[in-house]
Amino acid sequence: MLYPENAVIQAPLAGHTDMPMRLSSQRHGCRYAFTEMIDAGSLVFGNLKTMKLAYRSPQEKFLGVQLVGSDPDTLEKAVGILNTMNYDVLDFNLGCPAPKVEKKCEGIAFALRRPDEAVKALELIVRHSRLPVTVKTRIQDFEDPAPTVAFLKRLEDAGAQAVTLHGRLMKAFYSGPVAFPVIRAAREALRIPVIANGGIMDRESCEEIRRETGCSRVMIARGALGNPWIFSQVEQENFTPPTVSEFAEEIERHIGNMIDFYGEELAFRIGRKTILEYLRGRGYHGSLRASASYLCNTADFKVMMEEIRRGPASTPDSPRRLTPLR
């Protein structure tokens, strides 16, 4: 069994779930995580940025790799490369709705427009991979479970060992209601585990998706951005939010890991959005958040951290605890 009952998994998020973010999540209870989505063609052609995305820290106890693509020859070569690397599972992306992925008829577009070829691509990956293979995809109709269930059963027959199902349509991207009944129908129809995904932002929403879908295994995506504590929060009935001091310390460790991993210049170019994610919804003044958009060196970061350590207006003294994000 890839994941035990009640497993909480960090989703692969392009532009976010790099090694420093995964280590941050791991410090706060995340046990199962994925690389960012890796493009099969970029991997085959040795793109340096892609190889950086594929890096696994020795500190990571479990790491899955997610692959996106549609060309059979390229997928086969990419799987061959991944077979030489250290991962625990290979996930095939049939769910990404991003325009640049949709334009190439990959991700959810591949599943919707060329389902026969998508299933054959999965069969090819399963045949050549030394790793267990899973699939992440989306619902195909918000009201009627039948199209989604039929496609998932084909994925199961093709060798998928688990399926993560995002309960929103392609056009909805990452907002709006989640189709719990469709996910429940999939769970009841399949023999393999169905992992519920979509809208988990705190313990309450995690309990809701488990209750409404019948899936004990869940995947957290955007709820973890700037909030690695969510993995502790969903597991602990009496979760205690971090103090301002603990909050600031985690930002410093996260950005420090980014500097070590990318070098100072690139770390701050990438890390601006990371800092904004931490500050968003926490009550900090808008001017502080705005200044994060211009960070470019360690000296300026230290000045910003002094301000962060003072706490938001609603929690001026550091021993007080931040309100959990909703």
* Active-site amino acid positions: 96
CA separation for the pair 16, 322 (Å, rounded)? 23
